[in-house]
Structure 1
Amino acid sequence: MATDSAFAGAGKTAGLEAWRIEDLEPVAVPAAEQHKLHSGDSYIFLKTSEATTGLTWDIHFWLGKETSTDESGVAAYKTVELDDALGGVPVQHRECQGYESALFLSYFKATGLQYLEGGVASGFNEVKRDEYVTRLYRIKGKRTVRVEQVPLQSSSLTVDDAYVLDAGLELYLYAGKETNRLEKGKALEFISKTREARGGRANVTFIDEDPENAAFWDALGGYEAVSRSAESDERHENVVKKNTTVLRVSGSTDDNLQVADVTPSSGVLTKDILKTEDVFIIDVGNEVFVWVGKTASESERTNALTVAVHYLKKEGRPSHTPITRVVEEGETPVFTALFKAWTEPKVLEFGYQPSKGVAKMQDDKPVDVKAMVHAASQSEEDIGADLNGDGNHEVTVWRIEDLEKVEVPKEQYGHFYDGDSYIILHVVTPSSGKPTQVIYFWQGRSSTTDEKAASALLATFLDESLGGSPVQVRVTQGKEPAHFRALFNGTMIVHAGGKASAFTNRDDEDSYDTDGVSLYQVRGTNAKNTLAAQVDEKASSLTSGDCFVLVTPSKVYEWQGAGSSSAEREVASNIASILKKDRETEVVEEGNESDEFWEFLGGKDEYAKTKSSYEAPHEPRLFQCSNAYGYFDAHEIVNFAQDDLNTDDVFILDTYTTLYVWIGAGANEPERREAMALAQKYLAVAKSDGRGEGT
């Protein structure tokens, strides 16, 4: 079978390729446009993946709900053509608009699917600057969110989906009161990317902040109270399964194809049903599989999908029923799971050696060890020196709630929850000169992914609303720089819990400590850079080198570790005074704890002991070692925390008195070997800073 020139070079490298059927011919679709599908068209998608045995392929032909019979037929035929060009081994899938498979949808997790009206004739009209057609998009889905164009009218709105009104340089976001978090998050991302595509010139309006916005409702034909619910996101997840049917397709030419029902009377599928010289159609109710034997005739292979489609029509089944084509010895796990005791033959060629998964190395690029040692991390105090200097300081704090920013009452400034994300605007107005603006977005360690994404997007919107002049700084829990902590003048406290994520679950509730007992670890060297973080209220959380504040229903204890400094003890007193409210406080030195103190921590237990006398403090430094780019290299991670460790790489941790080499479980052999050698070289150079021979 001849191969269409449009498929030349297809499937050679990992990634996603797409073609649209135009004038009954496949035409390549640019990567940036692959998620935008026209309901009047048919498409072919090729997903190429890397495996230890080489490349693997999945071919999907996607049919719009308004596509013509000719176009859908060409898409099916050209899919077989592409399949043959790749040796006949790809897995084929038939996709219908609105009923796509989970595998197909997984390719668009970053962008979502965007359905557009029309077809080839209306799809790629010339676009002129600042000339836009007003459109309304619905953002809907539970697992993978789709963006679909809907009629431009207020009756299109529902209470449980998100919508974006695209009016060119004016963008509006409407979210129904029952919109789920993924839909809301995707709507924010969609609107952000739309603005980006227009050079950041489009204005964004959130309708929940201006529910009677005249321009929005006028574009939709007038205001209408929204009360209608859309059909369930899970409408296709509970398709009623029918009895299994097995059909055998055989014949050497198109004219003598025979279809026979070979369904086993027991209803149990065994591998010996399948014959290598034929094609089989297996209907399991919610999906149809087409299995192609290795020696099947060209006619059988070419017409297999057409036969499957005719079978669905004959049975009165929905046209969107998924059809997946697999080939012998290339069966998917989903397919083999249909059979009893499916076994795979393992054939190893002579001299076969399994791949170690190591990228091909480029010519040696030696790591500059001296630069590693002597290029000390930039001082936090230097970064924020101009921000914490003289002048008038104004701070505004917002918390992300239901993927929107909600201003925090001023009396709660400095109080953060590890399950939330926040946006902080700091404006410094010097006595002379122009104001300096900094936008921080702080992300709690337990904050949900959608809340973190919303904090970043909303920080960008805030930046642009202020003329694009502010500096944006991302701050993650545990990595707060000194200039950020100083904004709250020694009152920054991170509590456990937070607001429930936006519609993560309709039954979710806000999570806060409610038993009246909480333990805080205090960090800081002066009253300005103090930070206290809530830890598990148990004795093993204590460390001798730090101070802790234990809050109980009737009393607040200031626990002073034997190795803590006088500055740290003063800081702990400051935190205790904030947390005590109307409770009394009691200072407890390590070793003089009362029974009551231990009872609040669940009983006395072992905890970390640190030396009270140690060498002059040196900031620990962490270096990540990897050959992911084809050569071995190391780079420093500043303000690091445990979650910076990547199990695919090797890390060198310099604590001044000890040098650690941490090896991730997925690190390859060259990385392990090179990192150990680098650690030895690093240590030899590092001894010039005065550390002892015993390091």
Structure 2
Amino acid sequence: MATAKALEPAFQGVGSKPGVEIWRIENFKPVPLPKADYGKFYSGDSYVVLQTSGRAGAGAYTYDIHFWLGKDTSQDEAGVAAIKTVELDAILGGRAVQHRELQNHESDKFISYFKPCIIPLEGGVASGFKKPEEEEFVTRLYTCKGKRVVHLKQVPFSRSVLNHDDVFILDTKDKIFQFNGANSNIQERAKALEVVQFLKDTYHEGTCNVAIVDDGKLQAEGDSGEFWVIFGGFAPIGKKVLSDDDVVPDKTPGKLYSIAGGQVADQIEEYSKSTFENDKCYLMDCGDEVFVWVGRSTQVDDRKAAMKAAEEFLTSNNRPKATLVTRLIQGYETHSFKSNFDSWPSSTAPSAENRGKVAENRGKVSALLKQQGVGPKGKEKNAPVVEEVVPPLLEANGKLEVWSIDGDAKTPVASEDIGKFYSGDCYIVLYSYHSREKKEDFYLCYWIGKDSTEEDQNTAAKLTASMFNSLKGRPVQGRIYQEKEPPQFIAIFQPMVVFKGGLSSGYKSHIAEKGLDDETYKPDSASVIQILGTAVHNNKATQLDPVASSLNSHECFVIQSGSHLYIWQGTQSTYEQHAWAAKIAEFVKPGVHVKYQKEGSESASFWLGLGGKDTCGSNKVSLDTNRDPHLFAFSLSKGKFEIEEVYNFDQDDLLPEDILILDTRAEVIVWIGQAVDQKEKKNALEYGQKYIELAESLDGLSPHVPLYKVTEGNEPCFFTVYFSWEASKTSIPGNSFQKKVTILFGAGHSAGHANKGGGSQRRAAVAALSGVLTNEKTIADEPPPADEPEQSEEAPEEPVEPSEPIPEDDDSEPKVAIEEDENGILSSQSTFTYEQVRVKSEDTVPGIDLKRREAYLSVEEFESVLGMTKEEFYKLPKWKQDLTKKKVDLF
């Protein structure tokens, strides 16, 4: 194989640590881009971008290579970028996923490296461009599209470009305006705010003013009037005019073609994973994305030719520019590729490359958990082993309740038996605890024994759902299968022992019908209990068959034989296992004297109880669970469950209108936003089950993986650990847009902006347009044009707690007027007592503003009830005002 130097000197030493590396093509050679310019892409240039994922010392990295082609780049430069991408891949070992990125049509994965957006700039290296900071400031108009990552596109600075469907950003020297088209998506509005903040920090040193202008809400004074003046005055805006850039191809069922002689050849009608040969290349056409699959044994020249064949395929079929092109190497197929198959069976023996990938993923999560303050114990810094990661556990010293399922009911488990589980039974577990000075938290789940009946499993699911509802949807709700218990579950039992058999009537009837022996554990019968893990999160003990072959030199066992109780210690077992075995013996048989047996020096009577001496096992059982976190959005299209990955995810991707799925490989967690429809919330676990079935067939996920659902504002530590989590964000009420306004600009901005809505406000604003807006007489006297919506269906409302009913507004003012002074302090000439204005009052005063009850209190009573002065109260963020009022029954 050619050396790195022979292929391309600029690529020496690449991919040696996680992160992004970028080269721009200059004079047909890749030149490293300064870090300060990452995220800035010139339309006249071509770039090569490498994303390295993983952690040093944890096995092989994974790589994504993107070549980005500006809309004005030359064909020659574009060709060099494509060729250098293949060379870079060869240097990295030939296993990277490669992506073609066209300006204005970039993949979400590419943009996710540069959150919140990439900045498109005119010019290029060949035109001797100036850096933006060297130029005079130029007013620019952009469109913002995308609710996960933002596709930012510069458009001509003209009023005719504005429309009702998109979100626009107008960046002027002294102020940045966000214009929300009346029909624009609420989540796109929220994401655009992140771009506004980014532009403010990048080009205005964080000091310029920011304004939000809503389509259809006109005001002569303030931001709206100022915005329209920049465009030469107000005039009705037209409907959106579609351009080539707006043509988005539809996803279609995958069509597979062979590639031969550098050309796309015959279509293959019937295909499966076994169709692909490791010395050939194939093209999969999925409409919105074209995949080039490359066998592991193909040569570099064949790989270059395959990508060229894909480009020619798109051209000859007149495919839209937005069609993505992705090249995959055998063994590194992406989920979007595998989703075109009914199943993608795993290889029986993992390759060295795949073993490295597993190790790398484990390392990635180890680093992630260490960041969160959860670190390994007892390992030297330079130890050449993969660190054991202790997952985040629930707060200790909570209240634990357990019920067993019998028939159609649940029966409380006696306190002395909590921690004893039978494989023929099902149980409901409720753990109540406090975390981070919050309200009480709940961990609620049902445990399914591997020999339990379907009837008992269904009853457990139904009763758990009922308990979840009775606790107002606050708990984490989970489904746990025997042998797949997550660390958080095991840790709340100290100890936890799983016995054979069952106690429920359903299990007894089942084995009677089948004519099976009842193996249910009895205190006086022969038994072998395995002590494996000793850490708080893995110290589950399990009953095995009472035979000598169940023993293992690396473990410790509690053995009941006749009237004797033994602890057998394998030659490779640890002191911690011995100590834990003693605790298990006391838990199972309180007060009984224990005899110790060391491997190799057992008594004859010991073996007699196990049916005779036999060879003990010596294979060490691994307790590690590999974690490889991925976040997915999903959709149900014509009954088919389809998922879309959210790349490089963070807390801001958890939008209140969404249900998302976090798959860590060790658990699947369905997250439900506050603004999700009630019916959808009820189906959340079903969506999680559909995901598990899909991931089982395509990625080999265990069908018995723990499944949880969590609701916004009640996220447990084992969910938040995968994010840079700010608990304060979850307490902010409102939809995606309202929350983002509050987070970025403060609640006063949010409240002031959100309060301006409704027909009366519009009529008043239109009447006040004189002197600022053109054609004022026409506008004031005539109704709005037919193609201009009077008000967005998704117009932001005043942020409120979603659980509270909101009185419906009308266009009339409250009969009991409220006045607001220059400091935003509200008061009324008519004052009422606290008992008259509180929510639960039996004598509410008619005509008061139900959202501003506090304004009618006297100064003395205001301070007495709310515990602060009016000046202090009205300085609080709007959401905090509402929470404060809620505590005293004024909201």
Instruction: Give the TM-score of the pair, scaled to structure 1.
Output: 0.51
Shift of the 578–97 alpha-carbon distance from structure 1 to 2, 3 Å rule, reads same
Count residues in correspondence.
411
Shift of the 221–515 alpha-carbon distance from structure 1 to 2, 3 Å rule, reads closer
Shift of the 503–49 alpha-carbon distance from structure 1 to 2, 3 Å rule, reads farther
Secondary structure of the residue aligned to 2:48 is: strand
Q: 1:152 deviation in Å?
A: 1.3
Q: 1:86 deviation in Å?
A: 0.4
Which residue of 1 is the match for residue 8 of structure 2? 4
Which residue of 1 is the match for residue 829 of structure 2? none
Deviates more, 1:347-356 or 1:204-213: 347-356
Which residue of 1 is the match for residue 839 of structure 2? 579
Deviates more, 1:56-65 or 1:445-454: 445-454
Deviations 1:442-495 (A, max 9, x none): 9746544543331132229979x9xxxxxxxxxxxxxxxxxxxxxxxxxxxxxx
Highest RCO, 1 vs 2 (Cα 8 Å, sep ≥ 6): 2
Q: 1:13 deviation in Å?
A: 1.6
Deviates more, 1:182-191 or 1:91-100: 182-191
Which residue of 1 is the match for residue 286 of structure 2? 284
Measure, in 2, the Cα distance between the counterparts of 1:14 and 1:186. 26
Q: Determine which of 97, 105, 115 is the counterpart of 2:103.
A: 97
Which residue of 1 is the match for residue 258 of structure 2? 247
Q: 1:157 deviation in Å?
A: 1.2
What one-letter code is carried by the residue in structure 2 that aligns with 1:580? K
Q: 1:583 deviation in Å?
A: 4.2
Measure, in 1, the Cα distance between the counterparts of 2:304 and 2:69. 18
Q: Which runs of 5+ in 1 are unaligned?
A: 250-256, 365-402, 404-417, 420-440, 466-499, 517-572, 585-695
Measure, in 1, the Cα distance between the counterparts of 2:264 and 2:196. 53
Q: Does 1:148 align with 2:150?
A: no
Shift of the 202–513 alpha-carbon distance from structure 1 to 2, 3 Å rule, reads closer
Which residue of 2 is the match for residue 299 of structure 1? 301
Whether the aligned pair in 2 keeps the contact of 1:39 and 1:119 (CA below 8 Å) is yes
Q: 1:127 deviation in Å?
A: 4.7
Q: 1:42 deviation in Å?
A: 2.1
Deviations 1:585-643 (A, max 9, x none): xxxxxxxxxxxxxxxxxxxxxxxxxxxxxxxxxxxxxxxxxxxxxxxxxxxxxxxxxxx
What one-letter code is carried by the residue in structure 2 that aligns with 1:286? D
Which residue of 1 is the match for residue 389 of structure 2? none
Measure, in 2, the Cα distance between the counterparts of 1:302 and 1:444. 52
Q: Which runs of 5+ in 2 are unaligned?
A: 368-375, 383-655, 657-673, 676-727, 753-790, 808-832, 845-891
What one-letter code is carried by the residue in structure 2 that aligns with 1:164? I
In the TM superposition, 1:200-599 aligns within 5 A as: 200-207=206-213, 210=221, 216-217=227-228, 219-220=230-231, 223-229=234-240, 231=242, 239=250, 241=252, 244-249=255-260, 257=261, 259=263, 261-264=265-268, 267-339=269-341, 341-347=343-349, 358-359=366-367, 444=731, 447-459=734-746, 503=794, 513=804, 578-583=838-843
Q: 1:32 deviation in Å?
A: 5.1
Q: 1:151 deviation in Å?
A: 0.6
Shift of the 580–281 alpha-carbon distance from structure 1 to 2, 3 Å rule, reads closer
Measure, in 2, the Cα distance between the counterparts of 1:512 and 1:232. 43
Q: Does 1:134 align with 2:139?
A: yes
Shift of the 128–232 alpha-carbon distance from structure 1 to 2, 3 Å rule, reads closer
Which residue of 2 is the match for residue 70 of structure 1? 76
Q: 1:81 deviation in Å?
A: 1.1
In the TM superposition, 1:609-648 aligns within 5 A as: none
Shift of the 349–322 alpha-carbon distance from structure 1 to 2, 3 Å rule, reads closer
C-alpha RMSD of matched pairs (Å):
4.6
Q: Determine which of 186, 206, 222 is the counterpart of 1:181.
A: 186
Q: Determine which of 47, 54, 59 is the counterpart of 1:50.
A: 54
Whether the aligned pair in 2 keeps the contact of 1:244 and 1:285 (CA below 8 Å) is no
Measure, in 2, the Cα distance between the counterparts of 1:577 and 1:213. 35
Measure, in 2, the Cα distance between the counterparts of 1:103 and 1:176. 26
Measure, in 2, the Cα distance between the counterparts of 1:70 and 1:461. 53
Q: 1:106 deviation in Å?
A: 3.4
Percent sequence identity over aligned pairs = 33
Which residue of 2 is the match for residue 37 of structure 1? 41
Secondary structure of the residue aligned to 1:579 is: coil
Q: Does 1:28 align with 2:32?
A: yes
Deviations 1:332-372 (A, max 9, x none): 233234345533324368999965754586779xxxxxxxx
Shift of the 262–8 alpha-carbon distance from structure 1 to 2, 3 Å rule, reads same
Whether the aligned pair in 1 keeps the contact of 2:186 and 2:736 (CA below 8 Å) is no
Which residue of 2 is the match for residue 474 of structure 1? none
Measure, in 2, the Cα distance between the counterparts of 1:189 and 1:86. 35
Whether the aligned pair in 2 keeps the contact of 1:181 and 1:501 (CA below 8 Å) is no
Measure, in 1, the Cα distance between the counterparts of 2:89 and 2:52. 12
Measure, in 2, the Cα distance between the counterparts of 1:321 and 1:442. 36
Q: 1:258 deviation in Å?
A: 5.4
Shift of the 462–177 alpha-carbon distance from structure 1 to 2, 3 Å rule, reads closer
Shift of the 50–126 alpha-carbon distance from structure 1 to 2, 3 Å rule, reads closer
Secondary structure of the residue aligned to 1:310 is: helix
Secondary structure of the residue aligned to 1:70 is: helix
Secondary structure of the residue aligned to 2:200 is: helix
Measure, in 1, the Cα distance between the counterparts of 2:793 and 2:229. 29
Shift of the 184–321 alpha-carbon distance from structure 1 to 2, 3 Å rule, reads closer
Q: 1:176 deviation in Å?
A: 2.3
Q: 1:84 deviation in Å?
A: 0.7
Shift of the 261–458 alpha-carbon distance from structure 1 to 2, 3 Å rule, reads same
Which residue of 2 is the match for residue 194 of structure 1? 199
Secondary structure of the residue aligned to 2:176 is: strand
Whether the aligned pair in 2 keeps the contact of 1:279 and 1:293 (CA below 8 Å) is yes
Instruction: Give the TM-score of the pair, scaled to structure 2.
Output: 0.40
Which residue of 2 is the match for residue 162 of structure 1? 167
What one-letter code is carried by the residue in structure 1 that aligns with 2:298? A
What one-letter code is carried by the residue in structure 2 that aligns with 1:91? V
